[in-house]
A and B are shown apart, each in its own frame.
Chain A
Amino acid sequence: MTHFLIRRLFWAIFLFLVATIVTYLIFWVIPADPAKLAAGRGATMQDVARVRHFLHLDEPIWEQYGRFVWNLVRHGSLGRSFVNREPVRYTIGQDAPVTASLVFGGAVFWLSLSIPVGILSALRPRSILDRISMGFVLVGISAHPVWIGLILSYVFGYRLHLTPIANYCNFFSGTPGAQCEGPVQWAYHLILPWCTFMILNAALYVRLVRANVMETMSEDYVRTARAKGASQRRVMIQHVLRNSMLPVVTILGMDLGLALGGAIFTEDIFNLPGLGHEVVNAYNNDDLPLITGIVVFSTICVITFNLLVDMAYGFLDPRIRTD
């Protein structure tokens, strides 16, 4: 296990370097002048030059990158935003809970729909339920999140007044200047984003669960269980489910890690101040430290969730447990 963790750690460092270097290279290639933006509209040439020097933008790109890595390793700092001079860590700390609320809540929604529906479809292939759910899958896979989000927001928010049209409320109260707060308002405002997530992902997961359950049901050991006289219920719960959930766990881990880096479209439609929203703004402002910070954060999320998947695998499948 230690051996495995050390190897993982090296992979994580390597992945982190690659992701950040690529971010810096892209930034270097695109024609952008963040100094001009940061200096403001009426700035003179001298002002811009001073800002450029102050932001270290007059240094070669590899020196900027070196400084970034040094600050991160030495001080745990991701630097300050070019635009508003706030520490990047602070901004990410503000945004990450929003994205996490969206992603984890959404995951609960889509899993609690797709696992039962997937299992039922697998038990009765070509039944009415199976056909309906496959139709739903087709819609979910084909539709764009923006379209789904807008339709939901229009129908349930604007026309029926059942839900808010957009915006976010903090889970914990006590934010100065907040318009709304508390768990109830938080959940109330997130219902539509969660549903958007659910429609998008449930589609894929219904298919995934259905395919895996069907495959597991044709395994030899399931036949053995039936030959022992086990009931359908016992066969499903004890022999089919755990074995068929293995691939689902893998995909779920990857999806969660990836989505935490920013669910750009969903956050945009519902005006949620999460990481996806932030990264779009950062791109528009050529705000390199903020972009890099979010890239680092996403990388950490992906790595963490892959690690969690591996650990879950060890728990679910004794063949993978080492020593």
Chain B
Amino acid sequence: MATTLEVNDLHTSFRTDDGVVKAVSGVSFHLAAGETLGVVGESGSGKSVTFLTVMGLLDPRSAQVSGSVKLDDHELLGASQSSLRKIRGQRLGMIFQDPMTSLNPVKRIGWQLEEAVLIHQDVTRKEARKRAVDILKEVEIPRADQRIDDYPHQFSGGMRQRVMIAMALINNPEILIADEPTTALDVTTQAQILRLMKRLQDEHGMAIVMITHDLGVVAEMADDVIVMYGGRVVEQASVEDLFAKPEMPYTWGLLGSLPRLNAAGGRLDQIPGQPPSLLRPPSGCPFHPRCQFVMDVCRRDLPELELSTVGDDHRFRCHLDEGSRARIWSEKKAALAEGAAA
């Protein structure tokens, strides 16, 4: 059965002492079984909060949520805690950015893996332990049958992230949500973890949501991409289309700031300014204060998610007309290519 995660017009806001923070404003996307969705954006763009909302992991006392999150036509928003608990860890697995703090320091690795099994399945602890050893082998932990009795502090960061992945996958979920899984790791370990996730996806056939600020990771892993800015989706496309013809200035900026191995030693492009305040968001287009092509209309009106002429269901938010966008992107592409060639 093909699972799909369908999110429609999702809004998440937090009540704080300073006022209401709109972390997510009207986000929609969908994820088909076995696919990989890349979610890109800066810190504070709402990408993590979106998926914490999907998982139902936000504190209901401070977070207000509206919209719809459907897993196979089953509405998750407003579902009871007990039915959500059955889905978490069983059909939706999640791993987090910092493997150093994501495991309980006073419990053995094995215990924590077994717990994930025992919460959802009616098996003996012995059976759960056998599964824990198996999954540790699958994520390439050497001497898994011995290391299972270690505590988290006896593992390195990369190894702990492997354990986190093992724990998220131990019940064979249909979707794995990975919230910046490689950000806290060094570069060689990052590559290993990404390769591991790809292999596991081939074997288990789960869909992956890859939350990252690194377009390089997206290029390597994703089928589809959504770019988030200021709590909104500002561009969505298949990964080929996005790299072939990005349609709005923020995505251009992200692509320009990507390091290229064969580039000359010049400085990387950067997007000037800071991400917008979600407490007092800018009027109109959220990106307008940092946009070098800003027009009057951008300060006034939020651009709709328009359909691009390039690709299938490629959408973007921008007031620039077709001609200007094509011209600016071809100039930009030429500049990037020149940098690479020099």
Decide: B119 and A319 in contact? CB cutoff 8 A.
no
Decide: A226 and B57 in contact? CB cutoff 8 A.
yes
Decide: B167 and A228 in contact? CB cutoff 8 A.
yes
Q: Give the bracket for the number of chain B residues in contact with chain A.
A: 20 to 34
Chain A residues near B57: list those with CB within 8 A: 223, 226-227
The answer to whether B130 has its CB under 8 Å from any CB of chain A is no
In Å, the complex CA distance between A187 and B116 comes to 47
The answer to whether B207 has its CB under 8 Å from any CB of chain A is no
For A309-322 the 0/1 string (1 means CB < 8 A from B) is 00000001111000
Known: A228-B116, A228-B167. A219 touches B101 (CB 8 A): yes
Decide: B104 and A221 in contact? CB cutoff 8 A.
yes
Decide: A228 and B115 in contact? CB cutoff 8 A.
yes
Known: A224-B164, A227-B94, A230-B115. A238 touches B86 (CB 8 A): no
In Å, the complex CA distance between A226 and B92 comes to 12
The answer to whether A220 has its CB under 8 Å from any CB of chain B is yes
Known: A219-B101, A223-B57. A229 touches B86 (CB 8 A): yes
Chain A residues near B116: list those with CB within 8 A: 228-229
Known: A224-B96, A238-B115. A229 touches B89 (CB 8 A): yes
The answer to whether B290 has its CB under 8 Å from any CB of chain A is no
Decide: B105 and A317 in contact? CB cutoff 8 A.
yes
The answer to whether B107 has its CB under 8 Å from any CB of chain A is yes
Decide: A242 and B96 in contact? CB cutoff 8 A.
no
For B116-131 the 0/1 string (1 means CB < 8 A from A) is 1001100000000000
Decide: B89 and A316 in contact? CB cutoff 8 A.
no
The answer to whether B90 has its CB under 8 Å from any CB of chain A is yes
Chain A residues near B42: list those with CB within 8 A: none
The answer to whether B88 has its CB under 8 Å from any CB of chain A is yes
Which of B55, B57, B88, B104 has most A Cβ within 10 Å?
A: B104
The answer to whether A231 has its CB under 8 Å from any CB of chain B is yes
The answer to whether A152 has its CB under 8 Å from any CB of chain B is no
Decide: B89 and A228 in contact? CB cutoff 8 A.
yes
For A204-233 the 0/1 string (1 means CB < 8 A from B) is 000000000000000111011111111110
Decide: A318 and B96 in contact? CB cutoff 8 A.
no
In Å, the complex CA distance between A314 and B151 comes to 14
For B216-260 the 0/1 string (1 means CB < 8 A from A) is 000000000000000000000000000000000000000000000
**In residues 69-84 of chain A, which contact B (Cβ within 8 Å)?**
none
Decide: A227 and B105 in contact? CB cutoff 8 A.
no
In Å, the complex CA distance between A238 and B104 comes to 10
Chain B residues near A318: list those with CB within 8 A: 105-106, 151, 153
We find that the number of chain A residues with CB closer than 8 angstroms to chain B is 22
Chain B residues near A239: list those with CB within 8 A: 104, 107
The answer to whether B103 has its CB under 8 Å from any CB of chain A is yes
Interface of A is mostly: helix
**In residues 218-257 of chain A, which contact B (Cβ within 8 Å)?**
219-221, 223-232, 234, 238-239, 242-243
The answer to whether B98 has its CB under 8 Å from any CB of chain A is yes
Decide: A317 and B90 in contact? CB cutoff 8 A.
no
In Å, the complex CA distance between A223 and B81 comes to 15
Give the nearest-CB partner of A231 in chain B.
B85
The answer to whether B102 has its CB under 8 Å from any CB of chain A is yes
Select which of A223, A229, A319 is within 8 A of B85 by beta carbon. A229
**Chain B nearest CB: distance from A118 CB in Å?**
19
Chain B residues near A226: list those with CB within 8 A: 57, 88
In Å, the complex CA distance between A312 and B88 comes to 35
**Chain B nearest CB: distance from A224 CB in Å?**
5
Decide: B120 and A229 in contact? CB cutoff 8 A.
yes
Give the nearest-CB partner of B113 in chain A.
A228
Give the nearest-CB partner of A227 in chain B.
B94
**In residues 150-187 of chain B, which contact A (Cβ within 8 Å)?**
151, 153, 164, 167-168
In Å, the complex CA distance between A231 and B84 comes to 10
Chain B residues near A238: list those with CB within 8 A: 104, 107, 115
Chain B residues near A229: list those with CB within 8 A: 85-90, 116, 119-120
**Chain B nearest CB: distance from A125 CB in Å?**
9
Known: A226-B88, A228-B89, A229-B89. A221 touches B103 (CB 8 A): yes
**In residues 55-107 of chain B, which contact A (Cβ within 8 Å)?**
55, 57, 81, 85-90, 93-94, 96, 98, 101-107
Known: A229-B119, A239-B104. A220 touches B89 (CB 8 A): no
**Chain B nearest CB: distance from A277 CB in Å?**
42
**Chain A nearest CB: distance from B236 CB in Å?**
26
For A180-219 the 0/1 string (1 means CB < 8 A from B) is 0000000000000000000000000000000000000001
Known: A221-B104, A234-B119. A227 touches B151 (CB 8 A): no
Decide: A221 and B105 in contact? CB cutoff 8 A.
yes
**Chain A nearest CB: distance from B116 CB in Å?**
5
Chain B residues near A225: list those with CB within 8 A: 104, 115
List the 7 closest pairs (A to B, CB-CB), nearest first: A229-B89, A228-B89, A220-B101, A229-B88, A221-B104, A227-B94, A318-B151
Known: A220-B98, A243-B106. 12 other contacts (CB 8 A): A223-B57, A226-B57, A227-B57, A227-B96, A228-B88, A228-B119, A229-B88, A230-B85, A230-B115, A239-B104, A317-B105, A318-B153
